[in-house]
Amino acid sequence: MKTFALSRSTGGGAPDVAGFFDSRTFSVQYVVSDPATKRCAIIDPVLDFDEKSGATATFNADTLLEYVAKEGLTVEWILDTHPHADHFSAAQYLKEKTGAPTAIGQYVTQVQALWQEIYHWPDMPTDGRQWDTLFTKGDTFHIGELSARVLHSPGHTLASITYVVGDTAFVHDTLFQPDFGTARADFPGGSAKALWNSIQQILALPDETRLFTGHDYMPNGREPNWQSSVAEQRANNPHLAGKNEESYIALRHQRDSELPMPKLILHALQVNTRGGRLPEPEANGKRYLKIPLDALEGATWD
């Protein structure tokens, strides 16, 4: 199975993009680097978690660090696109290892408020202080000499953002590959209408823009793939080609009604709404997750 691919810079102002596929969670992590300065950002890193044993590990994050070291890169940013529902974020671990600041969209505060109530955590801060930087739509920043900007892309979650770096866009869980479709919009705070509008904003980028998705589910058993273009998405994505807003929303509602909740959503959000921090050890030195019962719809019994 392909778990790594390098998309080379297409020219001045464009990054090298190394993608790393985690087959346990179908997630894609990125090292986005400036060929001129060897500065880079890590996007959506995975902290390994085995829900059967409760074990955590840093296999994925250490693979990213090994690549950074091999290529002689310096990490400037550790970026999350949103608080993930299907894997733990390794942002805090990577910050400890590299010293690079963490960042996410400031809209994460809305997600924190939702999950503070679900977990009944009245003392949990919901002002985003768990990250070093909170981006808003239109914000710009640099990775080495590369210019980057932030789009607000809600719908999948309230907090979702897209990072546009040169001729690339990291579209997290808005779009999947053109042979698969688009993301679900039925999580707390989700909206199919908002997701449609976010996707239209992404598809308004130049046709040749390289799009990098947050997951790949390998339809028909093909190899994992996570790169496409705006033109490919517009022409071939079955959820978008020939659809208008009304038909898309109807399709999205129907499909979401058939999907079970992700198996790690209640595990992951209590870590990811805290910037990738695991719960503090209790008196016996062990860490514990808190799983609320009957908190979400979408149970499957067969």
DSSP per-residue codes, 5-39: EEE---STT--EEEEEEETTTTEEEEEEE-TTT-E
Report the C-alpha gap between 187 and 261 in whole angstroms: 8
Q: Is residue 291 part of a domain?
A: no
pLDDT in tens, 75-126: 999 999 999 999 999 999 999 999 999 999 999 999 999 999 999 999 999 9
Q: Is residue 221 part of a domain?
A: yes
Among 159, 108, 98, which residue's Cα sits nearest to residue 131?
A: 108
In 80-201 the beta strands, taken as DSSP E runs, fall at 88-89, 102-105, 133-135, 140-143, 146-152, 161-165, 168-172
Give how far Cα 114 sits from Cα of 7, 153, 251, 278, 294, Å: 37, 18, 26, 19, 15
Indicate the DSSP class of residue 278: P
CATH code at position 125: 3.60.15.10
pLDDT at 267: 97
Among 160, 165, 186, which residue's Cα sits nearest to residue 175?
A: 160
Q: Is residue 160 part of a domain?
A: yes
Q: Is residue 2 part of a domain?
A: no
Provide the domain limits for residue 252: 7-272
Q: Is residue 289 part of a domain?
A: no
pLDDT at 69: 98
Q: Is residue 287 part of a domain?
A: no
The list of the chain residues with pLDDT below 70 reads: 302
How many domains does the structure of the chain reveal? 1
pLDDT in tens, 216-250: 999 999 999 999 999 999 999 999 999 999 999 99
Indicate the DSSP class of residue 265: H
Number of neighbouring beta carbons within 10 Å of residue 144: 18
Give this prediction's pTM. Answer: 0.97
Bin 99: left if φ > 0, else alpha if -120 < ψ < 50, else beta.
left
Q: Is residue 58 part of a domain?
A: yes
Strand partners, 227: 212
Q: Is residue 285 part of a domain?
A: no
Among 109, 114, 115, 111, which residue's Cα sits nearest to residue 129?
A: 109
